[in-house]
């Protein structure tokens, strides 16, 4: 068999992605290497996934040790890594109960089903889920329907019903929408895919108060913001607003697939035996890796690095912008940053991403106008400077 190349993607894969022309084969820390040995500095971390960089020794150790012990049992049995991880998540958050699954979409699917189940048990007239326009919650039919980007939910036949959307960060619109029919309000504390747009503290506080006043649940989708990315273990802790249900994935496994839904005992009891499940949820390999991630991330040292590297990256982007005048603003929280292209360059974030890759630095876009940065939480000062240097050349070439 001939060695695989990027051309094989077009020949063999379902064409729902358009990957870059270069093909990574190895990663270490915040660096990736392609098939020809060229290196790339990684300011994307997958999409906010490889929270400890590539092949972090604590994760390699956890994975390989667990690989010698036990890979899988069904949910007719439980296992030690899942129980240890659940205990750590409960100890570190508002939650009293944890449900494990394999992705962000599945964590949200569980959250939305649980909210509907709670409503159906307490008050069957209540079924409405209120979400934000431009939000992103995953790609299952329920999660694209709750997500506020119609382009992702159209063309797949009838959608789940009783879902409405209100503009993000608009307290009056949320107040007008919530009623005795509302079973849950769903919010991303920072809209990630929607353009790295942080919620205001007042908005999250209002969402909490409105949910309480109308007997609805408050769900925070922290799939992208969670596990240290914003400068706390979860962003809700920085906002000082506690949800009833929180979903986590992406950074939780640091590159190994896992998702989690966190909630209180009171709410969790509505998922009684047999009401919901998934074959791989609580997989020992995934949970062992996630435990190593939590142990490493939930430390003062890593949180201090997030704050310091975020300041460095922001300052570097502001300095490049002072020179080149590309961005209207740099926004975000911790190491989830978005540089918003100004009107002159509107719609061209994809070109910036491509130019950056040519210069050997990986960045992301978040919609057509925002260049997104979500590096490893343990990226070094030297790596950030080097990446900013490469990005500077890329932006210069882009501004032409």
**What are the DSSP calls for 63-83, one per residue?**
HHHHHTT-----TTS--HHHH
The correct pick among 127, 128, 221, 383 for binding ligand PLP (CB under 6 A) is 221
Is residue 157 part of an annotated ligand binding site? no
Is residue 139 part of an annotated ligand binding site? yes
Site for ligand PLP in 173-212 (CB under 6 A): 188, 192-193
Site for ligand PLP in 290-319 (CB under 6 A): none
Q: Which residue is nearest to ligand PLP (CB)?
A: 104
Is residue 278 part of an annotated ligand binding site? yes
365 binds ligand PLP (CB under 6 A): no
Query: Where is 235: in which H helix or E strand?
Result: helix 235-239
The correct pick among 163, 223, 294, 363 for binding ligand PLP (CB under 6 A) is 223
**What are the DSSP calls for 267-321, one per residue?**
HHTTS-TTSS--TTTT-HHHHHHHHHHHHHHSSHHHHHHHHHHHHHHHHHHHHHH
Instruction: Compare residues 193 and 244 and give the one whose CB is closer to ligand PLP.
Output: 193
The correct pick among 224, 248, 296, 369 for binding ligand PLP (CB under 6 A) is 224
Is residue 312 part of an annotated ligand binding site? no
105 binds ligand PLP (CB under 6 A): yes
Is residue 105 part of an annotated ligand binding site? yes
Instruction: Compare residues 19 and 57 and give the one whose CB is closer to ligand PLP.
Output: 19
Query: Where is 22: in which H helix or E strand?
Result: none
Site string for ligand PLP, 228-257 (x = CB under 6 A): ---------------------xx-------
Is residue 361 part of an annotated ligand binding site? no
Q: Which long-range contacts (CB under 8 A, 24 or more apart) does 379-386 make?
A: 379/29, 379/30, 379/43, 379/53, 379/305, 379/309, 379/335, 380/29, 380/30, 381/308, 381/309, 381/312, 383/29, 383/30, 383/31, 383/41, 384/309, 384/312, 384/313, 384/316, 385/312, 385/316, 386/41
Least distance from ligand PLP to the Cβ atom of residue 48, Å: 7
**What are the DSSP calls for 82-119, one per residue?**
HHHHHHHHHHHSS-SEEEEESSHHHHHHHHHHHHHHHH
Site for ligand PLP in 123-142 (CB under 6 A): 136-138
Q: Say how many CA atoms lie within 13 Å of 128 toward its Cβ.
A: 15
Is residue 104 part of an annotated ligand binding site? yes
Task: Cite the annotated binding site for pyridoxal 5'-phosphate by residue number.
Answer: 104-105, 136, 221-224, 279
Mark the binding-site residues for N(2)-acetyl-L-ornithine, compressed into ranges: 139, 278
Residues that bind ligand PLP (CB under 6 A): 103-105, 108, 136-138, 188, 192-193, 221, 223-224, 249-250
Binding-site residue positions? 104-105, 136, 139, 221-224, 278-279
């Amino acid at each position: 068999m001939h060695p695989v190349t990027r051309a094989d993607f077009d020949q063999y894969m379902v064409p729902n992605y358009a990957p870059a022309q270069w093909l990574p084969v190895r990663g270490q820390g915040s660096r990736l290497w392609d098939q020809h040995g060229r290196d790339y500095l990684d300011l994307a971390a997958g999409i906010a996934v490889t929270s400890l960089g590539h092949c972090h020794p604590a994760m390699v150790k956890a994975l390989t040790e667990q690989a010698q012990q036990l890979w899988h049992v069904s949910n007719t049995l439980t296992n030690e890594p899942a129980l240890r991880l659940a205990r750590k998540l409960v100890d570190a958050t508002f939650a009293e109960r944890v449900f494990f699954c394999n992705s962000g979409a599945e964590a949200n699917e569980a959250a939305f089903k649980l909210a509907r189940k709670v409503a159906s048990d307490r008050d069957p007239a209540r079924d409405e889920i209120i979400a934000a326009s431009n939000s992103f919650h995953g790609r299952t039919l329920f999660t694209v329907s709750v997500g506020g980007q119609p382009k992702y939910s159209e063309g797949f036949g009838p959608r789940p019903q009783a879902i409405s959307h209100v503009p993000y960060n608009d307290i009056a619109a949320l107040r007008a929408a919530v009623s005795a029919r509302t079973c849950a309000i769903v919010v991303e504390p920072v809209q990630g895919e929607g353009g790295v747009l942080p919620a205001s503290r007042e908005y999250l506080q209002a969402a909490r108060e409105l949910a309480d006043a109308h007997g609805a649940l408050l769900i925070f989708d922290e799939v992208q913001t969670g596990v240290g990315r914003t400068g706390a273990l979860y962003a809700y802790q920085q906002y000082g607003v506690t949800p009833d249900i929180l979903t986590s994935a992406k950074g939780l496994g640091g590159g190994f697939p896992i998702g989690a839904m966190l909630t209180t005992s009171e709410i969790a009891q509505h998922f009684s035996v047999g009401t919901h499940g998934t074959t791989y949820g609580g997989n020992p390999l995934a949970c062992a890796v996630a435990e190593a991630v939590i142990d490493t991330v939930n430390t003062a040292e890593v949180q201090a690095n997030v704050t310091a590297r975020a300041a460095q990256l922001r300052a570097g982007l502001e300095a490049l912008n002072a020179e080149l005048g590309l961005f209207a603003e740099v926004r975000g929280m911790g190491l989830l940053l978005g540089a918003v292209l100004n009107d002159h360059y509107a719609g061209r974030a994809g070109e910036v991403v491509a130019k950056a890759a040519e210069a050997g630095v990986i960045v992301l876009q978040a919609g057509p106008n925002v260049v997104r940065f979500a590096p490893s939480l343990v990226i070094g000062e030297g790596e950030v400077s080097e990446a900013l240097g490469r990005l500077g050349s890329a932006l210069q070439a882009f501004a032409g």
